Amino acid sequence: MAFLAEEVVYCPYCGEALDVLIDHQEAGQQYIEDCQVCCRPIVFKLVLNEIGDVSVSVHDEDDAY
Ligand SMILES: [Zn+2]
């Protein structure tokens, strides 16, 4: 069953608050999306925690590799 959750993250470059929709089926994955405000690439990492919730963390591009 698909389960979507909305979470607020902050752009690592400009600090803008961004709403992201998290798909629990994508836990463990990461993807890159440009910030809507400063247009720089934000790396989103979806992490499954011990209670089965997915949380998202954001990183700047250099941090990811
Ligand atoms: Zn930004």
Report how far ligand 1's centroid is from the alpha carbon of 64 (Å): 16
| pLDDT higher than threshold 70 for residue 9 | yes
pLDDT at residue 64 tops 60: no
11-41 confidence digits (pLDDT tens): 999 999 999 998 888 899 999 999 999 999 9
Whole-angstrom CA distances from 12 to 18, 20, 41, 53, 55 are: 11, 14, 10, 23, 16
Q: For the chain, give every domain's residue range.
A: 4-64
What band does 2 get if pLDDT is binned at 50, 70 and 90?
low
Checking DSSP bridges between strand 4-10 and strand 17-23, what pairing results, if any?
antiparallel
Residue 21 and residue 35 in contact, taking contact as beta carbons nearer than 8 Å:
no
Distance 63 CA to ligand 1 centre (A): 15
Q: How far is the CA of 39 from the centre of ligand 1 (A)?
A: 6
Mean pLDDT to the nearest integer, 55-63:
88
